[in-house]
């Protein structure tokens, strides 16, 4: 059965999806003299800690930069540049503060009393601000988007194949590559395989790869060993092991939920190339579009994804995370995202998703109850 989307108000989806707030934001008109975005890590670096001490960066026993630790990738900087900003690559200080305040207000799920929302939205997305952790800061570089290429700061156009795939996804035929099931008015999941990947605790909606700042659990722990690097995400507590030696790659027919990652050093930058994603995962999660509900959700198949990530430590407190997504079956050209991550001493707690996933049983039981009620009403 084809599912029917309803136009969810801002208070609903914002609480749980991996989103960009670009569609929700209308900053002041762009001033003249706009700057073009750059794809280099040096130009994405924070304006702080510009003077590096002698002997920086610190190095491990293998002579490589020490990038170990826990890194916080929360940010209010949107994934995509708001359309009304055109080619403006950076906010002024005043525009950045206005955008920041507006983003905080939009993300405040406790401040929706004036919207007079129906009770169903509290049932579908019962998150208040206590559970959310978007952060309260923009990136120090005041860029208008996390996307640095294309220069317009926006995702490339989707291919006809990708657009057709989004329509097929509404049928919820396995493999289901969507993360959640919010907004489907006639959804009656026959079993867990019909539910979203995050609802099944298979893939976190911000954990990637690649990483996308989202509503909570925006932390990455990195551990370095002589022949491996561990990338441990707080969301779904996924541990991705990056092989750093020259052993043979897995054959193409062996696919993994997070792909097969191989790393090497280019100067002081760790470069991680990942392929062999399963077709059970999507290529990418689109940012929230409040103007067109049909353009929300995931796109593509992970089987066609080629991902290159770059990690560059630029100071004691900052690590630039940059990635390029290439999938010619989904996007008409590659795109690159750059996210400055901040060092944190905060502890990462176990995300016991499966153990605490009482909602799945409730969703399936609710579907069976609705079917019985509908069958009884049809007599």
Q: What is the pLDDT of residue 290?
A: 66
Cβ atoms of 177 and 209 closer than 8 Å: no
17 lies in a domain? yes
Q: Is residue 215 part of a domain?
A: yes
In a domain, 67, yes or no: yes
CB-neighbour burial class of residue 210 (10 A; exposed 0-12, middle 13-18, buried 19+): buried
Instruction: Give the pLDDT confidence score for residue 293 in this predicted structure.
Output: 74
Is residue 137 very low, low, confident or very high in pLDDT (cuts 50, 70, 90)? Answer: very high
What is the domain range of residue 180? Answer: 10-49+59-377
Using the predicted structure, report yes or no on whether residue 268 has a pLDDT greater than 80. yes
What total of structural domains would you count in the chain?
Answer: 1
pLDDT at 201: 92
Residue 57: what pLDDT?
83
Q: What are phi and psi of 206, to 5 degrees?
A: -125, -5
Q: State pLDDT tens for residues 138-154.
A: 999 999 999 999 999 99
Distance CA 148, CA 339 (A): 10
Q: Does residue 54 fall inside a structural domain?
A: no
Residue 2 located in a structural domain: no
Instruction: Express each pLDDT in 318-364 by its tens digit.
Output: 999 999 999 999 999 999 999 999 999 998 988 888 888 998 999 99
In a domain, 77, yes or no: yes
Of 295 and 214, the one with more pLDDT = 214
At CA 158, angle to CA 152 and CA 161, rounded to 5?
Answer: 165
Threshold 0.85, pTM exceeds: yes
Q: Rounded mean pLDDT of the chain?
A: 85
271 inside domain: yes
Q: Taking a C-beta distance cutoff of 8 angstroms, is the pair 99, 75 a contact? A: no
> Which residue has better confidence, 170 or 20?
170
89 part of a folded domain: yes
């Amino acid at each position: 059965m084809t599912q029917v989307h309803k136009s969810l108000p801002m208070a609903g989806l914002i609480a749980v999806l991996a989103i960009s707030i670009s569609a929700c934001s209308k900053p002041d008109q762009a001033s003249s003299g706009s700057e073009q975005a750059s794809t280099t890590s040096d130009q994405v670096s924070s304006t702080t800690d510009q003077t590096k001490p002698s002997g920086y960066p610190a190095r491990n026993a293998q002579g490589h930069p020490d990038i170990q630790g826990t890194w916080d990738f929360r940010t209010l900087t949107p994934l995509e540049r708001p359309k009304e900003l055109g080619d403006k690559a950076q906010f002024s200080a005043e525009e950045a503060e206005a955008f920041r305040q507006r983003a905080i207000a939009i993300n405040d799920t406790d401040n929706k009393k004036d919207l007079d929302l129906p009770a169903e939205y509290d049932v579908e997305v019962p998150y208040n601000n206590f559970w959310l952790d978007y952060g309260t800061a923009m990136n120090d570089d005041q860029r208008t988007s996390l996307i640095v290429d294309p220069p317009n700061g926006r995702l490339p156009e989707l291919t006809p194949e990708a657009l057709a795939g989004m329509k097929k996804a509404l049928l919820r035929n396995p493999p289901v590559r969507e993360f959640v099931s919010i907004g489907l008015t006639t959804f009656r999941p026959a079993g867990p395989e019909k539910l979203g990947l995050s609802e099944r605790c298979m893939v976190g909606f911000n954990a990637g790869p690649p990483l996308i700042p989202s509503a909570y659990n925006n932390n990455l722990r990195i551990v370095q060993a002589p022949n491996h690097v561990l990338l441990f995400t707080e969301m779904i507590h996924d541990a991705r092991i990056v092989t750093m030696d020259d052993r043979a790659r897995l054959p193409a027919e062996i696919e993994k939920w997070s792909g097969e990652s191989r790393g090497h050093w280019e100067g002081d930058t760790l470069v991680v190339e990942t392929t062999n994603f399963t077709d059970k995962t999507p290529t990418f999660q689109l940012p929230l579009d409040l103007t067109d509900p049909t353009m929300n959700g995931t796109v593509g198949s992970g089987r066609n994804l080629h991902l290159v990530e770059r990690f560059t430590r630029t100071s004691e407190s900052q690590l630039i995370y940059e990635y390029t997504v290439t999938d010619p079956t989904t996007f008409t050209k590659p795109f690159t995202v750059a996210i400055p991550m901040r060092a944190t001493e905060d502890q990462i707690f176990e995300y016991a998703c499966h153990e605490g996933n009482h909602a799945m049983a409730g969703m399936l039981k609710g579907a069976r109850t609705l079917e019985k009620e509908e069958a009884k009403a049809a007599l």
